[in-house]
A and B are shown apart, each in its own frame.
Chain A
Amino acid sequence: MSLLIMIALALVLVGAAITVFTTDPAKQAVVLSIYGFLLAVLFMVMQAPDVALSQIAIGAAVLPLIVVLTVRKVETVRAAKRKQKQ
């Protein structure tokens, strides 16, 4: 295993841990995007550019966007429900 692969693997491991242990979903979406980028780097180092391209397009952009939009929606619904109770 080359040094480059080891560094990329270590970064992915750290990124995955940070993503899992981030509790606020809104912040998690941002961390997830960075983690997606790290995964793409790993795929690139492992000579899989096709997979890296898919990963960067989906994991670094579209998926976090969908998560952020969902979080915003859930927050507005929660705020409205809290207001109703008062």
Chain B
Amino acid sequence: MTRSMRMVVLVIGVAFVGTALVWAALYMPGFGGDWHPYRDHAAAAALAHATANVVSSVNFDQRALDTFGEESILLGAVVGVAVLLRPVEGERRRKPKNTGHVLDSTRLLVVLAAPVALILGIDVVAHGAITPGGGFQGGVILATGLHLLYVGGRYSAFDRLRPLGLFSQAESIGVIAFAAIAASGLAAGGAWLANFVQHGTLAQLASSGTVPLLSGAVGLAVTGSMVVLVAHFLEQRLLVWPPRSEESASAKGDEGEERI
């Protein structure tokens, strides 16, 4: 595509989106008004299923199908990254250098923050139905907390602390569990993703039926996908460039490198 052709496509796109945005803005209700028909219906529906966090009720109960779609998108994105970031032919993996220097203050901060982040992540996943948060947020916090160990230490040590196969499985199990709960709704409640579990008391940990179960499944899937996703990017750092061609292969020493 030539430069002028790209400009034509850009102008058409900007004109179309710009017109649509201005048109939408003209008919929007004023900022901070008190007319919120969607909120009124969503809040009532959430309370009917004893869900204190209306956002979680929308995500995992009223519009749970959308969340299932997003979950599949995340899985697809991770598969895409895995395919794109695979080692090309001749690329070798070098052993991680352990010469990097980590400040003592950084190490101290990591030692203090990593356990807090992990507990916070579990807490956010578990209380998704009651307080702000849920499977997605908690899952990302869990994955981030785990990578704090990488910031504060050596890659080789971090690599041992993080069994990648386990996280890869956690990702699949999370998605399968979501689908299984959805199918159970079909069996027990007569509809895909029906909230068939007893709703319990509002604002109790075990309230709002399937919401905490689906939130937990999403938490598992998101933790797994995030760890696998970042692992692919980290792994790329260890690949030696350029890929070895036939002639240069014999000329270069390959200490500390292993062929993939």
Chain A residues with a Cβ under 8 A of chain B: 1, 49-50, 52-54, 57-58, 61-62, 65-66, 69-70, 72-73, 76-77, 80-81, 84
Chain B residues with a Cβ under 8 A of chain A: 31-32, 53, 55-56, 124, 132-134, 136-137, 140-141, 143-144, 147, 226, 229-230, 233-234, 236-237, 241-242
Q: How many Å from the CB of B89 to the closest CB on chain A?
A: 15
27 A-B pairs with CB atoms under 8 Å apart are A1-B32, A49-B132, A50-B133, A50-B137, A52-B132, A53-B124, A54-B136, A54-B137, A54-B140, A57-B137, A57-B141, A57-B144, A61-B144, A62-B140, A62-B230, A65-B230, A66-B229, A66-B230, A69-B233, A69-B236, A72-B237, A77-B241, A77-B242, A80-B241, A80-B242, A81-B242, A84-B242
Interface centre among B31, B132, B133 (most CB of A within 10 A): B132
A32→B39 CA distance, assembly (Å) = 32
A69→B147 CA distance, assembly (Å) = 13
Contact B137 A53, beta carbon cutoff 8 Å: yes
Contact B136 A73, beta carbon cutoff 8 Å: no
Contact of A73 among B55, B56, B147, B237 (CB under 8 A): B237
What A residues does B241 contact at CB under 8 A? 76-77, 80
Contact B230 A53, beta carbon cutoff 8 Å: no
Nearest chain-A residue to B248 (Cβ)?
A84
Contact of B132 among A1, A50, A58 (CB under 8 A): A50
Interface centre among B53, B137, B229 (most CB of A within 10 A): B137
A1→B141 CA distance, assembly (Å) = 32
5 smallest beta-carbon distances between A and B, as pairs: A49-B132, A57-B140, A53-B137, A69-B233, A50-B55
**Other contacts beyond A52-B132, A65-B230: 7, CB < 8 A:** A50-B55, A50-B134, A53-B124, A54-B140, A57-B137, A62-B226, A65-B147
Interface centre among A62, A70, A84 (most CB of B within 10 A): A62
Interface centre among A49, A53, A77 (most CB of B within 10 A): A53
Contact B242 A62, beta carbon cutoff 8 Å: no
What A residues does B134 contact at CB under 8 A? 50
What A residues does B124 contact at CB under 8 A? 53
Contact A53 B233, beta carbon cutoff 8 Å: no
A62→B132 CA distance, assembly (Å) = 20
Q: How many Å from the CB of B230 to the closest CB on chain A?
A: 7
Nearest chain-B residue to A66 (Cβ)?
B233
A76→B10 CA distance, assembly (Å) = 32
Nearest chain-B residue to A80 (Cβ)?
B241
Nearest chain-A residue to B53 (Cβ)?
A50
Interface centre among A50, A70, A81 (most CB of B within 10 A): A50
Interface centre among A61, A66, A84 (most CB of B within 10 A): A61
What B residues does A66 contact at CB under 8 A? 229-230, 233
A70→B81 CA distance, assembly (Å) = 12
What B residues does A57 contact at CB under 8 A? 137, 140-141, 144
Q: How many Å from the CB of B157 to the closest CB on chain A?
A: 18
A77→B242 CA distance, assembly (Å) = 7
Nearest chain-A residue to B32 (Cβ)?
A1
Contact B137 A69, beta carbon cutoff 8 Å: no
